[in-house]
């Protein structure tokens, strides 16, 4: 009888820890949102612009490659199936709607969580194990204002902008495949794409991008603050940050799509 009891105890402890971590993350997020009114103040302006540059400009290279080939793959796979029915001209609508509604924010979220989110977790984790965060608290500097808020501002601003950039490159990548491999002219492709993609698709995709930015910031900063065990703990926190961000992005993306389209 010991094993079922111990298993139940471990499960209960894990549930309590999950609830504790969720509560800590939500409190940190709400406080960071409150401090956003000081984002362009004298004390926070430089750090805010630094995080905007790191999140946006320094991510353009990898996002460009991923976005272009995502659109090309969507166009090729969809076009090959539509060719069986002589309807390959409709790849424009398939790629545009898929990119704007789902793949654009989703791929951008995965890239940013793997690059920027992991960097945030590693940086804050290193500060936590070296007691720099404790030193900030001793000096009466709120870590959520000094560390979390600029990163939150950067991600919720840059994620929608990067998603728009991803959408454009993905649609153009599909146009390249359509004109070079499927016999669909650029004009026909773009006409079909603009005909079926709606404003609602764009707004839902940008809303997802905003939510993904909030998720990445919350998970990465929370994991960084909770880091222990020195260098080994920093590696674990970085790994957990990426994994949790991926899973939450998948679940939230599905729930938003179901909410707006079913």
Lowest mean pLDDT among 26-40, 153-167, 202-216: 26-40
pTM of the model: 0.91
- For the segment 6-14, the average pLDDT, to the nearest whole number, is 76
Going by C-alpha positions, the residue among 114, 73, 104, 60 that lies closest to residue 201 is 104
pLDDT computed for residue 206 by the predictor: 95
Burial pattern 124-151, b for ≥16 Cβ within 10 A else e, equals bbbbbbeeebeebeeeeeebbbbbbbbb
Alpha-carbon gap, residue 159 to 112, rounded angstroms: 8
pLDDT computed for residue 198 by the predictor: 86
State yes or no: pLDDT of 140 exceeds 90.
no
* Residue 30, CA distances (Å) to 17, 35, 55, 119 in order: 20, 9, 21, 22
Lookup: tokens for 223:
């994991």
Q: Is the separation of the CB atoms in 103 and 205 below 8 Å?
A: no
Per-residue pLDDT of 171-185, as tens digits, reads 999 999 998 988 888
Per-residue pLDDT of 68-118, as tens digits, reads 999 999 999 998 888 888 888 889 999 999 999 999 999 999 999 999 999
State yes or no: pLDDT of 1 exceeds 60.
no
- Whether the CA torsion 11, 12, 15, 21 is positive or negative: it is negative
Q: Is the separation of the CB atoms in 198 and 96 below 8 Å?
A: no
- For the segment 50-66, the average pLDDT, to the nearest whole number, is 93
Going by C-alpha positions, the residue among 224, 213, 2, 253 that lies closest to residue 111 is 213
Mean of per-residue pLDDT scores for the chain: 89
Question: pLDDT: is 27 or 207 the higher one?
Answer: 207
Residue 5: pLDDT band (50, 70, 90) is low
State yes or no: pLDDT of 3 exceeds 70.
no
Q: Is the separation of the CB atoms in 256 and 211 below 8 Å?
A: yes
């Amino acid at each position: 009888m010991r094993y079922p009891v111990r298993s139940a105890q471990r499960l209960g402890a894990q549930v309590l820890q999950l609830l504790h971590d969720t509560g800590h993350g939500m409190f940190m997020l709400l406080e960071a949102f409150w401090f956003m009114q000081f984002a362009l103040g004298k004390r926070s302006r430089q750090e805010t612009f630094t995080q905007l540059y790191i999140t946006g400009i320094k991510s353009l290279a990898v996002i460009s490659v991923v976005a272009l080939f995502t659109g090309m793959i969507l166009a090729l796979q969809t076009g090959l199936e539509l060719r069986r029915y002589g309807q390959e001209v409709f790849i424009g609508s398939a790629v545009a709607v898929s990119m704007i509604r789902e793949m654009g924010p989703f791929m951008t979220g995965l890239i940013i969580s793997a690059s920027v989110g992991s960097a945030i977790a590693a940086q804050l984790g290193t500060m936590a194990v070296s007691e720099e965060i404790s030193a900030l608290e001793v000096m009466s500097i709120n870590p959520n204002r000094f560390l979390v808020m600029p990163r939150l501002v950067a991600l919720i601003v840059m994620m929608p902008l990067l998603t728009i950039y991803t959408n454009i490159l993905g649609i153009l990548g599909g146009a390249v495949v359509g004109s070079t491999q499927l016999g669909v002219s650029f004009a026909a492709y773009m006409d079909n794409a603009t005909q079926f993609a709606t404003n609602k698709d764009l707004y839902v995709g940008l809303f997802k991008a905003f939510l993904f930015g909030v998720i990445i910031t919350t998970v990465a900063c929370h994991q960084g603050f909770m880091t222990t065990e020195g260098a080994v703990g920093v590696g674990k926190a970085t790994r957990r940050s990426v994994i949790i961000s991926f899973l939450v992005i998948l679940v939230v993306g599905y729930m938003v799509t179901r909410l707006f389209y079913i």
